[in-house]
Structure 1
């Protein structure tokens, strides 16, 4: 019996080691999932009454774009050759632009494909969408990815496909004049009546908070 003890001990130690590895993996996975969930936690924990996902956190500033000082801007990441979610969201934004005609609300299209979306092409696109539309063109696709990631979006170019298609989020981000993120809409399937109510509520809050 005594001769079996070292073997049993070795098996016990191996089991402890495996369990520690498993625990470490589970902890890492939990930390990763928590990091993903953090941006949406305020909305999950706070019954704000907004239709969109309510946030109150700083967003990434854009060098060549300034939202309306006391208004709001919708930021959407996409690209001109997208044939999936982009057309649907752009139709949503066009209708919203009509609902907020004359209000301090702008719509910023950030291209994820700056190599193909030239400044001239983007200018032509925004002109066709309406006077409240603007465009932002990062230096390259990697810079566009980094910017999208700062807004908790994703963008992955599928190299090797016919037109180098880009898989990406379809989120709409609503920011204030100082790029503070206030709302996120995570689907193109939107109730625009409720979106309009959200935006009018935020505009009213901005007006009440602005200095006289």
Structure 2
């Protein structure tokens, strides 16, 4: 748990990297996080890499389908962002990366993201080692909690939303405290500067 707290503190520190004259409302992480890079399985069972999303702005969120509150709330908030972006959302993808690959099979993810917006959200999963490596790359903290008598369990995880531009560069970090208007404002700027 201490490691998870330290990683969460690292993400929080990144959020403080904005400069006073910075025009962004979200935390500007340009140059502080690596480019989008992964090799996973999408919610249709197909292998995908970051290259599949070249030319698109990507909002990356690490969560899991059995999450009782934060994950569905975050995806609902991102649906508000999509609505506010309107036509500007046509080249935007939300990548929902599971931190619970044992339960989040492609079929489970497909049903889950389909309940929100199958046009813009894609569920991604992989092996435990693939997810661990990717989480470490982006300083995402997560931990499986003790199993309940019925076999169910929760996964404690950080809840930042990572914004990558059309070239796959990490640009912004949104937190639970950022309203849909704020996220939409900055994401629109990232989209507008895609050329």
TM-score (norm 2): 0.77
Change beyond 3 A, Cα 1:159–1:143: farther
- Give the counterpart of 1:199 among 183, 187, 193: 187
Pick from 38, 47, 52 the counterpart of residue 62 of structure 1.
38
Q: Distance in 2 between matches of 1:71 and 1:172?
A: 16
In terms of Rg, which structure is larger?
A: 1
Q: Which runs of 5+ in 2 are unaligned?
A: 1-5, 40-47
8 A Cα contact 2:165 2:190, kept in partner: no
Matched residue SS, 2:139: coil
**CA spacing shift, 1:101–1:121, aligned 2, 3 Å:** farther
Of the two structures, which has the highest relative contact order with CA contacts closer than 8 Å and spacing of 6 or more? 2
Say if 1:38 and 1:94 are closer, same or farther in 2 by CA, change over 3 A.
Answer: closer
Whole-Å separation in 1 of the counterparts to 2:134 and 2:14: 16
Query: Using a 3 Å threshold, how does the CA distance of structure 1 residues 128 and 175 change in structure 2: closer, same or farther?
Result: same
TM-score (norm 1): 0.72
The alpha-carbon deviation at position 145 of structure 1 amounts to: 3.1
Per the alignment, residue 44 of structure 2 pairs with none
Partner of 1:138: 126
Contact 2:81/2:181 (8 A) holds in 1: no
- 1:169: Cα distance to partner? 0.6
CA RMSD of aligned residues (A): 2.4
Q: Select 1:74's aligned residue among 59, 63, 85.
A: 59
Q: Which has the higher helix share?
A: 1
Describe the superposition over 1:126-182 as per-residue Cα deviations: whole angstroms up to 9, x where unpaired.
222211111110212x53233122112100111334522110011100012332110
Equivalent pairs counted in the alignment come to 172
Aligned to 2:108: 121
Aligned with 2:30: secondary structure? strand
